[in-house]
Amino acid sequence: MISVAPIQPHELLPAARLMAAAAPASEREARAVRFADLVRAGEIDAGGLLLARRSGEPVGVAVVQLMPGGSAVVVPPAPDGGPATDALAATAVQFLRGSRAVIAHVFLDTTDAHKAAPLLRHGFFRAATIAHLLRDLAHLPPPPPLTFTRSTADPALFGETLLATYAQSLDVPEASTDRPANDVLAGYADGQPDPPYWWLARDPNGAAVGVLILVPPRFTPTWELGYLGVVPAARGQGYGAMILRFALRAAAELGAAYLTLSVDTRNEPALAVYRGHGFRAYHRQRVFLWRRDTVAKQRFPMS
């Protein structure tokens, strides 16, 4: 019989080895040790490591990491296809339901999408394919005719504008929830400096038209465009491209050599803007979601 519960300290390395089971044989132990080190350093919360045992022996593991703002990230059960996968998936969903999370994400390379199967059997659903794009900052566009102010100048307006940009979004609309502004901002603030690299964009008349969030790197000179949004009333007027131009220049001024971003492959308007500004795709991932309300607002075919 298989039982599932959070790991005990002495089980950390065996659990890490199960996580690394799909890696090439020559890399497994190094990856397992690295995973265990991240847990010991507190970068991965041990409370979200779920270990499946048969007769007391570890046979599978899954990871649930609660994030600020009512969201979570889940790593599917491993080893893939093992006898404990459904028990782990069911326990992961039970863990989520006992937490503050209103939404949980799974990100898998397109070649690994099958690993989500046990989670799909327990309440997750397919949401989108995400393209990761990259651009070097050797050549920059001219500055846009907009005014940009840091979010700290008017936090309430920044939060209000950010939420407004979510309306009718084409970027993973299945992930849209009714979280309050404070929760949404808490999610973006995770890992950001104080003050964060957030800007409010205003048109020449002073009206707020969008927001920009940049994410600084940890180990490389590559920054991330964490979020770029335009309010519905300002869409179709070129503001997205203008905010992107500012993002490129701001990242370069902050010392970035490259800027990356992620976009739903169904979001053709955004893709056209990014490609037109020199971004090129380098990777794709599938996104799977769990929502506390259990019903996605819309179900789209995978692209």
8-24 tens-digit pLDDT: 999 999 999 999 998 89
- For residue 124, pLDDT over 90 is answered with yes
pTM of the model: 0.89
Q: Are 266 and 128 in contact (CB under 8 A)?
A: yes
Look at residues 74, 79, 76, 62 and name the one whose alpha carbon lies nearest to residue 28: 79
Q: How far apart are the C-alpha atoms of 79 and 262, rounded to whole Å? A: 28
Count of all residues that appear for the chain in the document: 303
pLDDT tens-place string over residues 162-172: 999 998 888 88
User: Would you list the domain boundaries of the chain?
Assistant: 2-123, 135-284
Q: Please name the fold of domain 2-123.
A: Aminopeptidase (3.40.630)
> Three-state secondary structure along 176-233?
CCCCCHHHHHHHHHCCCCCCCCEEEEECCCCCEEEEEEEECCCCCCEEEEEEEEECHH
Helix 268-276 to helix 239-253 angle, to the nearest 10 degrees? 50
Paired tokens of 199 = 């800007």
- Residue 296 confidence (pLDDT): 43
The pLDDT value recorded for residue 297 is: 42
pLDDT band at 299 (very low <50, low <70, confident <90, very high): very low
Res 303: pLDDT: 37
32: nearest Cα among 12, 51, 49 = 12
Is residue 121's pLDDT more than 70?
yes
Sequence-distant (≥ 6) Cβ neighbours of residue 180 within 8 angstroms: none
Domains 2-123 and 135-284 agree in fold: yes
- C-beta of residue 127 within 8 angstroms of C-beta of residue 113: no
| pLDDT tens string 34-85 | 999 999 999 899 999 999 999 989 999 999 999 988 999 999 999 988 789 9
pLDDT, tens only, 80-117: 887 899 999 999 999 999 999 999 999 999 999 999 99
pLDDT, tens digit (0-9, with 9 covering 90-100), for 187-240: 888 778 889 999 999 999 999 999 999 999 877 789 999 999 999 999 999 999
Report whether CATH 3.40.640.10 matches the domain 135-284. no
The dihedral region occupied by 74, where left means phi > 0, alpha psi between -120 and 50, and beta the remainder, is beta
**Which pLDDT does position 194 carry in this prediction?**
87
Instruction: For 133-161, write each residue's pLDDT tens digit.
Output: 999 999 999 999 999 999 999 999 999 99
pLDDT of residue 187: 84
**Amino acid 298: pLDDT:** 40
pLDDT at 272: 95
DSSP 39: H
**pLDDT above 80: residue 295:** no
Predicted pLDDT at 171? 86
